A and B are shown apart, each in its own frame.
Chain A
Amino acid sequence: MENNVIIKISHLFKSFGEVKAVNDLSFQVRKGELFAFLGVNGAGKSTTISMICGQLRQDAGEVEINGRNAVLASGETKRELGIVFQDSVLDRPLSVKDNLRSRAALYGITGRSFEKRLGELMELLDFSSFINRPVGKLSGGQRRRIDIARALLHRPEILILDEPTTGLDPQTRMLIWDVIERLRKDEGMTVFLTTHYMEEAASADYVVILDSGRIAAEGTPYELKTKYVNDTVSVYGASEEDMKRLGLAYTPVRDGFRFSVENTGEAVALITAHPELFRDFEVIKGGMDDVFLAVTGKELRGDNK
């Protein structure tokens, strides 16, 4: 398998009537990496995920999981995928245990094997206190933990998380991210993530930004930030005359001044050339929010602009 690729998408197309939801999409996900798939609502993220999971048949193109065609070898590829859907899809009237038991049986995990796996997941996701409660009576955060437990029941190689932390409290978000990090570290699990939180995408190994079913940009967070957004330099304790000497557009802030440079190299050159001016300063790289805005012209949270 080339470069340890675990998911390979090649020239994928999917239309719903006149709407081209996915339009010639190609990308690769490497084993063990955290892959972030970004895009505004309707960009084609969920449609792509549905095709990866075999829920939806593509019009053209190919999806390969671990070197196998996902359509032709759907039974085997399904065992390699664990999916956390955007909305909880567990049976609300049934207890957590009943839900997990019935889903585990679909992977051939029954009896003692199930009890053992349940114990491991209870420890990992800390849900022993509500194991017998109906899923419909759980809080959003508790339910999310059970959704993740369900996805992990069969020890998948790839964990697909479709906006897993949307609407959750910070504590639960942190717990979920701790779990994801542990799974990646301890089990080498590949995580395919869609999210609206840019700070989550910032910690990804690789990012693909989708716009109208096409890739608008891709790369590591560093590459994207370097390519699409400026660095911000804040200078403290300098006078306005000093700033004018630099010949750059600047903005006064409470304790100093702020200006923008194309990249960190430019900032370093300025600092080296004017050491007397840069006695107290900070250089901040542009964030993923800025990358997303620069690439798509849209903000990820709230309405599109």
Chain B
Amino acid sequence: MKKLCALVGRHRRLYFKDRGMLISSFISPAILIVLYATFLAKVFKESFVSALPEFFTVSEKIIDGTVAAQLTAALLAVSCVTVTFSVNFTMIQDKVSGARKDLNVAPIGKPTIYLSYFISTVFNSLMVNLAALALCLVYVSSAGWFLSVTDVACLVGDVVLLVSFGAVLSSVICYPMTTQGQMSAVGTIVSAGYGFLCGAYMPISSFGEGLQKVLLHLPGTYGTSLLKNRMLRGVFVEMGSAGIPEEAVNGIKDALDCSLSFHGHAVTTPEMLLVMLGSIVVLGALYFVIMKLDKK
């Protein structure tokens, strides 16, 4: 245990010493919030308003709160996963610098070394994403706050879950990589593509039926939906209180991917949690198997 802690401490110190990486990790979510608010908020708002039946009058606060919650949930869903790919850089950097040779000759098992990379990635990514969550909550409060303390606590839990998912996913993908070039290429691809695949940039309800079926088999979709459910729960309650019929609220939930249907089964929030937990376990087992099969 002491050895594991020493390794995690070493990886974390290396991360903090790399000022460029540290600053860019923290700035990225902030930049995303600004970009989302600047370019997407208006589109989301117009699309939301146009989808409402003509005879409904919804307060500006609810509309702005809905848009802000939707945007921030999407941002967090992307950030929790993509940040882990840049933070997991130490695993590859150690191979490039030769530091791995030095760790390999020490009396510690390979599983301890790889577990240490995973844990430090979780810690460092959590730090960035919890800061991002705080920023998101500030943005939401400025647009329209409908969250309870429980919602915020659940959001923190969801961020931990998604970061753990991102950390184990990046660990599996980055395992065979041996150069910084490969890592940055993968980081770019993941940053560009993950938002679409998990339904963050565009609700998957707006995609074709075939694509929807494919995306519903990816765990990231449920992670995004989980965050959306947390962020929008208060808004939906407020909509009900404002007299909007339940059918209309459910329609909005469907349109925003808060309700997902997997082969005809309506996936509940606890089931989404289980999907994410299961994915972490499966990917973790895969990480272990890859490591065990690697005889180098």
Residues on A facing B (Cβ under 8 Å): 53-57, 74-76, 78-79, 81, 83, 85, 87-94, 98, 102-103, 105-108, 110, 150
Within 8 Å CB of A102, what residues of B?
6-7, 9-10, 13
Cross-interface CB contact of A92 among B13, B97, B101, B109, cutoff 8 Å:
B97
Q: How far is the CA of A76 from the CA of B9 in the complex (A)?
A: 24
Closest chain-B Cβ to A87's Cβ sits at a distance in Å of: 6
What are 29 A-B pairs with beta-carbon distances under 8 A? A54-B104, A54-B105, A55-B101, A55-B104, A75-B107, A76-B107, A78-B106, A83-B102, A83-B105, A85-B101, A85-B102, A89-B97, A89-B98, A90-B99, A91-B99, A93-B14, A94-B17, A98-B10, A102-B6, A102-B9, A102-B13, A105-B2, A105-B3, A105-B6, A106-B6, A106-B103, A107-B106, A108-B3, A110-B2
Q: CB-defined interface of B1-23 with A at 8 Å, one 1/0 digit per residue?
A: 01101110110011001100000
Closest chain-A Cβ to B124's Cβ sits at a distance in Å of: 15
Judge whether A56 and B296 touch: CB under 8 Å. yes
Q: How far is the CA of A106 from the CA of B99 in the complex (A)?
A: 13
**8 further interface pairs, Cβ-Cβ under 8 Å (given A54-B104, A93-B18):** A75-B107, A83-B102, A89-B97, A94-B14, A98-B13, A103-B106, A105-B6, A108-B2
Counting CB contacts under 8 A, is B295 at the interface? Answer: yes
Q: How far is the CA of A89 from the CA of B95 in the complex (A)?
A: 10
Within 8 Å CB of A90, what residues of B?
99, 102
Judge whether A81 and B105 touch: CB under 8 Å. yes
Judge whether A103 and B13 touch: CB under 8 Å. no
Judge whether A85 and B107 touch: CB under 8 Å. no
Closest chain-B Cβ to A291's Cβ sits at a distance in Å of: 31
Counting CB contacts under 8 A, is B189 at the interface? Answer: no
CB-CB contacts below 8 Å: B261-296 with A: 295-296
CB-CB contacts below 8 Å: B32-72 with A: none
Closest chain-A Cβ to B26's Cβ sits at a distance in Å of: 18
Judge whether B7 and A106 touch: CB under 8 Å. yes
Judge whether A91 and B295 touch: CB under 8 Å. no
Counting CB contacts under 8 A, is B237 at the interface? Answer: no
Within 8 Å CB of B9, what residues of A?
102
- Whose C-beta in chain B lies nearest to the C-beta of A76? B107
- Whose C-beta in chain A lies nearest to the C-beta of B101? A89
- Whose C-beta in chain A lies nearest to the C-beta of B99? A89
CB-CB contacts below 8 Å: B92-137 with A: 97-99, 101-109
Within 8 Å CB of B97, what residues of A?
89, 91-92
Within 8 Å CB of B13, what residues of A?
94, 98, 102
- Tally A-B pairs: CB < 8 A: 72
Q: How far is the CA of A72 from the CA of B107 in the complex (A)?
A: 13
Q: CB-defined interface of B210-223 with A at 8 Å, one 1/0 digit per residue?
A: 00000000000000
Within 8 Å CB of A91, what residues of B?
10, 14, 97, 99
* 3 nearest A-B residue pairs (beta carbon): A105-B6, A93-B17, A106-B106
Cross-interface CB contact of A78 among B5, B18, B98, B107, cutoff 8 Å:
B107
Within 8 Å CB of B103, what residues of A?
106
Most central of B7, B9, B18, B106 by chain A CB within 10 Å: B106
Within 8 Å CB of B108, what residues of A?
106
Q: How far is the CA of A76 from the CA of B296 in the complex (A)?
A: 19
Q: How far is the CA of A88 from the CA of B5 in the complex (A)?
A: 24
Closest chain-B Cβ to A188's Cβ sits at a distance in Å of: 21
Q: How far is the CA of A111 from the CA of B242 in the complex (A)?
A: 62
Q: How far is the CA of A55 from the CA of B106 in the complex (A)?
A: 10
Closest chain-B Cβ to A286's Cβ sits at a distance in Å of: 37
Within 8 Å CB of A94, what residues of B?
10, 13-14, 17
Within 8 Å CB of B10, what residues of A?
91, 94, 98, 102
Within 8 Å CB of B7, what residues of A?
102, 106
Judge whether B14 and A89 touch: CB under 8 Å. no
Within 8 Å CB of A98, what residues of B?
10, 13
Q: How far is the CA of A93 from the CA of B93 in the complex (A)?
A: 12
- Whose C-beta in chain B lies nearest to the C-beta of A75? B107
- Whose C-beta in chain B lies nearest to the C-beta of A88? B98
| Contact (A78, B105) CB under 8 Å given A57-B295, A90-B99, A105-B2 | yes
Q: How far is the CA of A93 from the CA of B15 in the complex (A)?
A: 10
Q: How far is the CA of A102 from the CA of B98 in the complex (A)?
A: 16
Closest chain-A Cβ to B14's Cβ sits at a distance in Å of: 6
Judge whether B105 and A55 touch: CB under 8 Å. yes
- Whose C-beta in chain A lies nearest to the C-beta of B5? A105
Closest chain-A Cβ to B275's Cβ sits at a distance in Å of: 37
Within 8 Å CB of A150, what residues of B?
102
Q: How far is the CA of A44 from the CA of B18 in the complex (A)?
A: 36
Closest chain-A Cβ to B91's Cβ sits at a distance in Å of: 14
Within 8 Å CB of B6, what residues of A?
102, 105-106, 110
Judge whether B99 and A87 touch: CB under 8 Å. no
Within 8 Å CB of A110, what residues of B?
2, 6
Q: How far is the CA of A105 from the CA of B13 in the complex (A)?
A: 15
Judge whether A87 and B14 touch: CB under 8 Å. no
Q: How far is the CA of A83 from the CA of B107 in the complex (A)?
A: 13
Judge whether B107 and A79 touch: CB under 8 Å. yes
Closest chain-B Cβ to A112's Cβ sits at a distance in Å of: 14
Most central of A57, A93, A94, A108 by chain B CB within 10 Å: A93
